[in-house]
């Protein structure tokens, strides 16, 4: 296998394309940081933040594939993943984890003392998620917290001090992920029970899982709205919040009462549009506000 083919294999191992879930919210946090004192947004700072984002997620995904290799091999839904198929060895997945983790910590140190100090702790949270399903049905919340670290880290990397608005924004991302990860895990409800794995569907059943997911997704736009209110956001930010609420409602309409026939559309398509749409409208809101000020 050529070097280019190997790079493509590793890229698919860590599903680089799925960065679309977290990256737009991290970028939105950088935009929102302009409402408070922040550092100059130079090209170097933007590149370092992008490197951090991709590297941290790559490390987390590679380690997840390593930690879940036995479970993936036993589950018909995931048996085609790289390690069970023998396309990538467990050792290679660990090497990718180590390399991506080192790049993340290195890039974070260029963004300031605080990002550099926090980066190993962030990495610990990201890698730790891979073991959460063996410990607690709240593993979806762990994953949500891991994803919420992206906008929180972007806010700090932009030179903004930690404050209530970014905490609310992070909780919004946490509830968003918590809700849609529960819906996705409905596919493995029986498998999780049979193999002693913990999840909301395995613990509470389909009806209970839908309740938890709905409650989380009701909280998401409310938290986004409150964060925007505290930061003095404008009309287009309000449209972004409304779009988020509408797409989450659509997502639940697709899944219905545990109907998994459209789960991929609900999980991948709707959430990708949600995150990208939220960022675009947040950016447009900031642009309008800048034009009004000038």
Q: Domain limits of the chain?
A: 3-293
CATH of domain 3-293: 1.10.357.140
Q: Could you give the C-alpha distances from 256 to 135, 171, 190, 243, 261, in angstroms and in order?
A: 29, 25, 19, 20, 10
Cα dist. 245→48, 49, 271 in Å? 32, 28, 11
- DSSP of 104-152, one letter per residue? HHHHHHTT-HHHHHHHHHHHHHHHHHHHHTTT-TTHHHHHHHHHHHHHH
Length, in residues, of the chain: 294
pLDDT of the residue at 255: 85
Tell me how far apart the alpha carbons of residues 82 and 66 are, in angstroms, rounded to a whole number: 10
To the question of pTM greater than 0.85 for the whole model, the response is yes
Determine the Cα–Cα distance for residues 144 and 291; give it in Å rounded to an integer: 35
Predicted pLDDT of residue 290: 82
Check the CA dihedral 73-79-84-85 and report its sign. Answer: positive
Structural contact between residues 69 and 84, judged by C-beta atoms closer than 8 angstroms? yes
**pLDDT value at position 6?**
60
pLDDT value at residue 269 = 83
Q: Cβ(206)–Cβ(258) under 8 Å?
A: yes
H/E run at residue 161: none
Report the chain (294 residues): mean pLDDT per 10 consecutive residues.
63 64 90 92 93 92 92 88 87 93 96 94 94 92 94 94 96 96 90 90 92 96 98 96 96 80 78 93 93 71
Query: Which H/E stretch holds residue 285?
Result: helix 271-293
**Cβ count near 109 (within 10 Å):** 14
Contact, 166 vs 100, CB < 8 A?
no
């Amino acid at each position: 296998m050529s070097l280019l083919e190997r790079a493509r294999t590793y890229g698919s191992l860590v599903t680089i394309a799925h960065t679309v879930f977290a990256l737009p919210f991290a970028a939105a946090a950088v935009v929102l940081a302009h409402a408070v004192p922040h550092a100059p947004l130079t090209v170097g700072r933007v590149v370092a933040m992008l490197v951090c984002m991709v590297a941290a997620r790559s490390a987390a995904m590679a380690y997840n594939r390593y930690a879940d290799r036995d479970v993936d091999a036993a589950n018909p839904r995931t048996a085609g993943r790289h390690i069970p198929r023998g396309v990538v060895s467990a050792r290679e997945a660990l090497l990718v984890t180590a390399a991506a983790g080192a790049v993340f910590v290195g890039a974070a140190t260029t963004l300031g003392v605080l990002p550099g100090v926090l980066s190993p702790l962030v990495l610990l949270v990201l890698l730790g998620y891979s073991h959460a399903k063996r410990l607690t049905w709240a593993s979806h919340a762990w994953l949500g917290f891991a994803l919420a670290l992206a906008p929180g880290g972007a806010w700090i990397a932009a030179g903004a001090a930690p404050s209530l608005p970014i905490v609310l924004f992070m909780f919004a991302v946490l509830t968003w992920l918590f809700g849609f990860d529960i819906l996705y895990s409905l596919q493995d409800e029986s498998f999780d029970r049979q193999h002693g794995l913990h999840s909301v569907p395995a613990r509470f059943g389909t009806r209970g899982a839908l309740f938890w997911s709905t409650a989380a997704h009701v909280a998401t736009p409310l938290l986004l709205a409150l964060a925007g209110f505290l930061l003095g956001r404008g009309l287009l930010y309000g449209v972004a919040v409304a779009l988020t609420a509408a797409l989450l409602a659509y997502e639940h309409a697709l899944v219905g009462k545990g109907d998994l026939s459209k789960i991929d559309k609900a999980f991948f398509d709707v959430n990708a549009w949600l995150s990208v749409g939220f960022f675009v409208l947040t950016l447009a809101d900031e642009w309008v506000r800048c034009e009004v000020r000038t």
